[in-house]
Structure 1
Amino acid sequence: MKKDQNDRDSAIIIPFPGLKDRYYEKGISSLESHHFQEAVDFLKQAYQMDSTDPHISAAYLAALYENGNYDDSKRMAEELLKSGIGSFYDVLDIYLMILIQLNDYKQVVATLKPLFEENEIPPEKAEHFLQLLKLSEKAVRNQVMENSPKDDIPFLHQEQSPQDQLIGLGMLKDKNIHPYLDSLIEMLSVEKVHPFIKTAILSLFKENKIDQSILVEKLGKKETLNPMDIPSAEEFPFFHLVKNQMESQLRDHNPVLLEQILDMIERHSLCLYPFEWEPTNPSVWTAAYRAMGYELYGENWNLEKLAEFHSVQEAELGTIFTFIVKLEEISSAIVSPQ
């Protein structure tokens, strides 16, 4: 039987030129701005058009993971590892993070142990993967973590990297944290514990409704706080004032730079949490972040003129800019690759 014209037209799908790249670019932009569901939607379209592109595959996998689609991202990571698409050890790194989120520590051990036995781990990944292997072996031995003595909690070894401490905190997801409460509280007042780790601990306390006064020391500040009485980092009004000012300045002029600065502000807010931003004039912070934007792109800028443009004190702007540079160094360390 012959097909009519409508049948033939519907059977032929010709994508617009460059559509795959457009989906990929929009997906990356959404991923960088932490709009993870949006990133998944865009990158899924690109992946369906070309599942062999290593850049698209890696980005789609990262988006699924960041969006909390652990089962889907696990299946995809396993497919990529089998097919050899993309960087094997970068995909493996994400795969291991997914397994930890799923509490599948046995599979982490089963995956990493043969690689170490065959000396196939690249030097730059060896220490990181070894920490994951040790953490997972300990988690397998202590399957009922609530009954484990607090000295056996792997992430409380303060000499570990912040990345591995975060993994340890992830191991407490959906667990009873009360056996470890004293150790966690102590970490909040230890200077060498990374500010981001302290934020993660406070978030864990809020999730578990820990209703007691706790001493928090961070970035030279010290205060006794009750986790149940403080808002989340995103709920601080000052945080939104600075973001809104940046958006009004850059939304139409330079949206790419805007996304980079907003991401920076969000990371810095997590580092400062639960303390308020000081001074409380949002304009001086906005001006300082604008200066960071100039620095990102190697553009010349003048402190005096920038202060005048934003109607802020030059000395105060200089102080805040220096502090932001410090915050960027601190917050970048927690997300830098191993």
Structure 2
Amino acid sequence: MTKRKRHVIKHDNIVVFPGAVQTLIREGHMYAENYQYEEAVASFEKAFLYEAGDEIALSTYAYALYELKAYEKVKSVCEQLFAMGTSLYVEVMELYVTVCMQLKEYHQVESLITTLIEENVLPEGQLEKFERLRSLNQEVARNLQKKEDAKRLIEEQEYELSEFNALTPDEQSIRLHRLMDTNVRQLKTALKAIIECPTIHPFVQSLALILLVEQEVSIEMTISKFNETKIINPINLVLPNQLPQYKEVKKIIENKLEQDPSTLEMVQYLMAKHAIVTYPFEWRPFEADDIAYSYIDFVQSMLGKVQEMNYEIIDFLQMLEKLTELHEV
């Protein structure tokens, strides 16, 4: 008597016995029917490691994921169902639209439902439901836009020069630091006014300018500090530690203090702070050599080593140090 061969699945050298995948899928359906969505998702995902799911399994999996708020995964499964030509098109499309709304993809929802209606894809009995979904999507999008507009207005008012100028330099720098992970383009006019204001602390001027430089914002402005004035555009500037004189001074100091790492670290720390205060002018009108050796003398004098120094530059460095004292991070 000949034994009937049964189909054996292998995955990563693991043998899956016949019926195991079907058992996992049945468990997934059972868990979903009993509102045990985490267990349902776990069972379906184990099954899908070995076999591609059919539309019933995939759609149940998608609904379980939705209950767990795994919206990105739901969207991906819905797209998989569309690609395979599901007979559950309307049901899957409703889920897909709902998920896109949860992901705040309001423009996509509007475009999608409009296309479905215009191309008469939807059965007559489903048309009203999708029109309600479109109306809801439009209302949610409008409300979100109102909130974003209100938030932007508050931010713009916070950085208006009259209000900003009433703050202490510490408070000003804290307020600017809040913008580090924000798109500052809508605030570029307010930041320009801060940078151009002659009564704003030089360190604060630099922080505002660095925000614009980091985000490559294009806006022409005039900046004045340390008896120098310059017309600049942030989009054409590099950051303080990438300026030519900074690199030159840094190289000289590193060569000079190669055998004295402790002094080198202190000098580099001071340089980095001071470069922000002077930005974008650097240490003008002094030469790179003079600046480098003066920094070394400055640090060594702080360590109690008395020696001849260029007191004009030392006075300048002391002034820069004083200007950074309020802004230690």
TM-score w.r.t. the length of structure 1 is 0.49
Which structure would you say has the larger RCO, counting Cα contacts within 8 Å and 6 or more residues apart?
A: 1
TM-score w.r.t. the length of structure 2 is 0.50
